[in-house]
Chain A
Amino acid sequence: MRVLTLAGRRLAASIPTLILILVGVFLLLQLAPGDTVDALMAQMGGGDAATARQLREFYGLDLSVWAQLGNYLWRLVRLDLGFSAIYGKPVATVIAERLPATILLMTASLSFAFFFGLLLGVVAARGVNKWPDTLISTLGLMFYAMPTFWFGLMAIVVFSIYLQWLPAGGFEDITVSYTGLRRTLDIALHLILPTLTLGLFYMAIYLRIMRGSMLEVLNLDFVRTARSKGMDETRVVVRHVLRNALLPMVTLIGLQAGTMLGGSVVVESVFSLPGLGRLAYESVIQRDLNTLLGIIFVSALLVIAVNFIVDLLYARLDPRITAGS
C-alpha cells in the first residue's frame, strides 16, 4: 500500500513535467515555417488566400499564440488531440492505430535487453578479467558502438536476403490474412529483427552497468559477512549480491525509457513498422504539426508510465524507499 502511495506521489509529480513539455514543444512549433493549413493546401495542390483564411479560422489558427495554447491544453484535458489534416482523421485515431506496434516493440526490446543484460553482466562479473568477461565486454562494446539502423540493415541482408529466414520488414504478412495464433506467430516473426536491433544496444548498456554494479556490491561489507557465515560464492551472488546490484540498472531503465522510445523512430523506419516512431518521422516530413504534438504527448505519457512501473519495481526491491518518507 505504501509502495502504491509513493509511486502515486511520483506520478502526480510528473504532471508539471508533462505540462512543461507540452507548452515548450507547442511554443517551439510556432516557430516552424508554415502551419497545418499550408501543409493541407500544399496537399490539395494549392488554393486561394480566402480558403486559407477560412481554414485558419476553422482550426483556430487565427488566434493569438497564447489563446491557441490555452485552447490546445483545454482540449487535451478532454483527451481531444485535435484533427490531422494530412490523414483526414482525428489525431487520437491516427495514433491509436500506430500505438500497438510501438508498444510491442518496446516491450519486447526492453525485456530482451533487461534479461540478457542481467545475465551477461552477472557472468562477466563472476569471471572478471577472465576470458568470458573479455568476450562479453568486447561484444557489449561492439553492440554499443554500432548504429542501430546499420545493424538492422545488415541483419536484413543476412537473415532476410541471403538466408531468407525472416521477413525484411512490415508488422505482419498482408498478402495473407491470418487469424488467431497463426497471426500472433506471424507478428512475432516480423518483430524478431526489430527487437534485436533496438534491444542489443540497450543490452550492451545494461550489461556494462550490471557488471560494474556487481563488482561494486561484491566489495561491500555485507558480502564479507555472508562469506564469513560459510556461504559459497554462488549463493553469495544469488542471495546477497544480485538484488543489490539490480538497483542501479532498474534506475537506468526509467531514465532511458525516453531514449529507447526515440530509438524506435529509426528502427521502425528501417523495418517499415507502422508504429509511433515512423508516424513521427512522417509528420515531420509532411509538416503535420498537430499529429507531431499528439505523438509528443503520448510518448511522454508512455515514458511516465514506464517510470511508474520502474518506481513500483524499485520499491519492491528496496525496502528503504518506502521507509524514507
Chain B
Amino acid sequence: MSPILVLDDVSVRLPAGGDRSHAMANVSLSLAANEILCVVGESGSGKSMTANAIMRLLPGGVAIDGGRILFEGRDLCRLGEAQMREVRGAGIAMIFQEPMTALNPLRTIGDQIGEMFELHTDLPAAEIAARTLALLEEVRIPDPALAFRAYPHELSGGQRQRAMIAMALALDPKVLIADEPTTALDVTTQAQILKLIRDLQRRKGTAVLFITHDFGVVAEIADRVAVMREGRVVEAGATAAVLGEPRHAYTRQLIAAVPPLEAPPPRQLSGEPILALAHVSKTYRTGGFLGRGKRVTHAVRDVSLVLPRGATLGIVGESGSGKSTLARCLVRLIDPESGEIRLNGVDLAGLSREEMRAATRRIQMVFQDPFASLNPRRKAGEAVAQGLVVHGMARPQALARARELFGLVGLDPAATERYPHEFSGGQRQRIGLARALALEPEVLVADEPVSALDVSVQAQVLKLLAELRERLGLSIVFITHDLRVAAQVCDLVAVMQRGEVVEAGPIGAVFGAPQHPYTRELLASIPGREIGAGRRFAEEPTA
C-alpha cells in the first residue's frame, strides 16, 4: 500500500541558545491509509514536535530546516500559508492531550465543531447543525443534543475528548494526528477513548499518527511503532516485532521499565499494625447562599484500613476517588471530620495543632509534582535540613545530616548547595524523599510520587523506594492511579471509588481475583495488559 504521509529526512531547528540545536534530526517516517502508527518516546524526544511540524504549527523561533513532508505526494514544507490552511482540518486533523484547554471555554461544543464545516465547505447552517449532531452521535457522546449546546466546562474530560474527536473527524480527513489524546484521562475513560479511535479509524480507513509515552497504549492500539529519542527515530517496525524483540538497546530499556501488572510473590507481613484508620470521613460543602445551591461532596467516606509495620499499603483509584484527600488527612494537611487515625495507638485525628506539629516527626509525606514540591528560592540542602531545624536540631548539624541524606537517596552530597531548578524531575523527587526521611519517620505517605516522571526515571525512583523501605524499616502508604506501579510496590491494596474503599486486601489476591465490579473494570481498562507479563520488574535489561 502506498503511504499517504511521508516524513523524509525532516529536521527541525530550535532557537539558538538552548541545550540542543535540533528538536528533530533526520526523522523519516511513513504512514499508510488505514493504519495506526504510534510514535513513542519520553519527554524531550521530539515526538510532539513531529506532530507540530507536520501541521506546520511550530512555536516561534522553531523552524523546519531540512527534509520533505509529503502528504498525498505534495511537499507540505513548500505550500503557501493559504494552501496549508486548506490541508489543516480537511486533509490532516489533530486532537490534543488536554481536552479542557484545547476547546474554547466561551463557545459551545456544537459551535466549535460546526466551525470545521464553515471553514472548509459552503454548507448552509441547518445542514451544518445536522451534521454536527450526527458526528456527536457517532462518537457516542451521551445525549448529543445536549452536548451540542453545552460549553466545554459542562462536559466531563472523556466527553470533551469525544467532542474533540468529532471535530477532528468532521471532514473525514485522510490523516488524524493524535497527540497524547488519553494521557490526561482516567484509565477507564482512556480505554473507552482508545476503543473509539480504533473503531472510527477502522470504519473510515483513516491513517492515524498516534503520539504517546505509554507502551501499554502502544500495545493496545498500534499497527506499527516508531521509537524516538532526542529527536531521532531509533527503531521502527511492526508493533509485535518492536515490543516482542526490540533491537535497539534504548527500546529494550524503555520496555523493561514498564512495570508488569502481576504482583511479585507476597512478602511475609508483620502482624503488628503501625497505622490503623477507622471510619475516616471528610465532606466538602461548597457554594450555598442562604442555604440555596449547596453541594455536598463526600471526598472520603467511612474509610477503615490497617497498615502493618514494614508493609506498603497501596491506595488506588481514579481522579476524584478521594485517594489524595485521604493521604492529606493522614498527615493532617486536611482535618478529617470524623474517624480515627491511630499511629502506634495515638489518634492523630484527635491531636491539637501543636501536638500534631510534634507528631510530624513520625509520619511524613512525599508529594507528586517534582517541580511544585520544592521552594524555588531555597537551596536543596536547606529544604532537607528545614524539618530537622524546626524540630530542634542546630543548623550546622542539620545541614551535615542533609548531606548524608543526599547520599542516601543517591544524590551527590555537594549538590545540597544548588537550587531546585538545577535538578531534573527525578532528582527533585529524590530531594523530596530525603526531606521526608530527614525526620526518620515511621510511616511515609507517598502521594503519586512517580506519576510525573518518565518511565525510565520512574523505575529508578521506585527501586530506591523499595531499597529504603528495607534498610530503614519504613511503612509506606502509597497513593497511585497507576495499577502497574501499585502491583510492583505494594503488599496490600485498597481500591477507592467516590470516596469509599470498594475492595481491599493483599495485592496478589485483589489483582489476581478481583471481587468488586469496579476493580474488575479498572484492571480490564489497563492498556496493553500483556506487556511485561511473566517478567520480574526492574531487572536490568541484558544489553
Contact = CB atoms under 8 A, between A and B. Distances in A.
A220 B55 CA distance: 17
Interface string A221-239: 1101111111110010001
A231 B119 contact: yes
A225 B52 CA distance: 11
B90 A221 contact: no
B103 A222 contact: yes
B473 interface: no
Contact of B96 (A221, A318, A325): A221
Contacts of B167: 229
Given A9-B289, A319-B151, A230 B105 contact: no
A323 interface: yes
A274 to B, nearest CB: 42
B413 to A, nearest CB: 40
A230 B85 contact: yes
Contact of B86 (A220, A230, A235): A230
B151 A224 contact: no
B460 interface: no
Contacts of A325: 287, 289, 293
B305 interface: no
Given A221-B98, A320-B151, A323-B153, A230 B104 contact: no
18 contacts: A222-B101, A225-B103, A225-B164, A226-B104, A227-B57, A228-B57, A229-B88, A229-B93, A229-B119, A240-B107, A243-B106, A244-B106, A318-B106, A319-B105, A320-B105, A320-B151, A324-B287, A325-B293
A203 to B, nearest CB: 25
A152 B154 CA distance: 50
Contact of B106 (A221, A230, A232, A319): A319
Contacts of A323: 151, 153-154
A220 B101 contact: yes
A229 to B, nearest CB: 4
Interface of A: 9, 220-222, 224-232, 235, 239-240, 243-244, 317-320, 323-325
Nearest to A228: B94
Contacts of A239: 107, 115
Contacts of A317: 106
A325 to B, nearest CB: 5
B55 A228 contact: yes
Nearest to A9: B289
Nearest to B106: A243
Given A220-B101, A221-B98, A227 B88 contact: yes
Interface string B52-92: 00010100000000000000000000000010011111100
B462 to A, nearest CB: 31
Given A230-B85, A231-B115, A318-B106, A221 B101 contact: yes
B85 A240 contact: no
B76 to A, nearest CB: 13
B393 interface: no
B402 to A, nearest CB: 39
Interface of B: 55, 57, 82, 85-90, 93-94, 96, 98, 101-107, 115-116, 119-120, 151, 153-154, 164, 167, 287, 289, 293
B106 A224 contact: no
Nearest to B288: A325
A318 B106 CA distance: 6
Contacts of B55: 227-228
Nearest to B81: A232
B105 A229 contact: no
A222, A243, A320 interface centre (most CB from chain B within 10 Å): A222
A324 B288 CA distance: 11
A243 B115 CA distance: 16
Nearest to A243: B106
A72 B287 CA distance: 36
A324 to B, nearest CB: 8
Contact of A230 (B119, B153, B287, B289): B119
Contacts of B93: 228-229
B116 A229 contact: yes
A229 B89 contact: yes
A230 B96 contact: no
Contacts of B86: 230
A71 B182 CA distance: 66
Contacts of B105: 222, 244, 318-320
B139 to A, nearest CB: 16
A228 B85 contact: no
A33 B85 CA distance: 73
A240 B115 CA distance: 11
Given A220-B101, A230-B119, 14 more contacts: A221-B98, A222-B103, A225-B94, A226-B104, A227-B57, A228-B93, A229-B88, A229-B115, A229-B116, A230-B89, A231-B85, A317-B106, A319-B106, A324-B287
Contacts of B120: 230
A239 B111 CA distance: 11
A239 B107 CA distance: 9
A244 B86 CA distance: 26
A125 to B, nearest CB: 14
A23 to B, nearest CB: 24
Nearest to B59: A219
Contacts of A324: 287
A9, A220, A229 interface centre (most CB from chain B within 10 Å): A229
B293 A224 contact: no
A239 B116 CA distance: 13
Nearest to B98: A221
A2 to B, nearest CB: 11
A222 B88 contact: no
B55, B85, B154, B293 interface centre (most CB from chain A within 10 Å): B85
Given A244-B105, A319-B151, A323-B153, A228 B89 contact: yes
Nearest to A220: B101
Contacts of A243: 106
A240 B104 contact: yes
Nearest to A235: B119
B96 A225 contact: yes
A220 B98 CA distance: 11
A317 B287 CA distance: 22
Given A230-B119, A244-B105, A320-B151, A224 B96 contact: yes
B146 to A, nearest CB: 14
A157 to B, nearest CB: 45
B102 A222 contact: yes
B102 A221 contact: yes
Contacts of B90: 230
Contact of B57 (A220, A224, A232, A240): A224
B309 to A, nearest CB: 46
Contacts of B101: 220-222
A320 B154 CA distance: 9
Q: Closest 9 A-B residue pairs measured CB to CB?
A: A230-B88, A230-B89, A221-B101, A229-B89, A230-B85, A228-B94, A222-B104, A325-B287, A319-B151
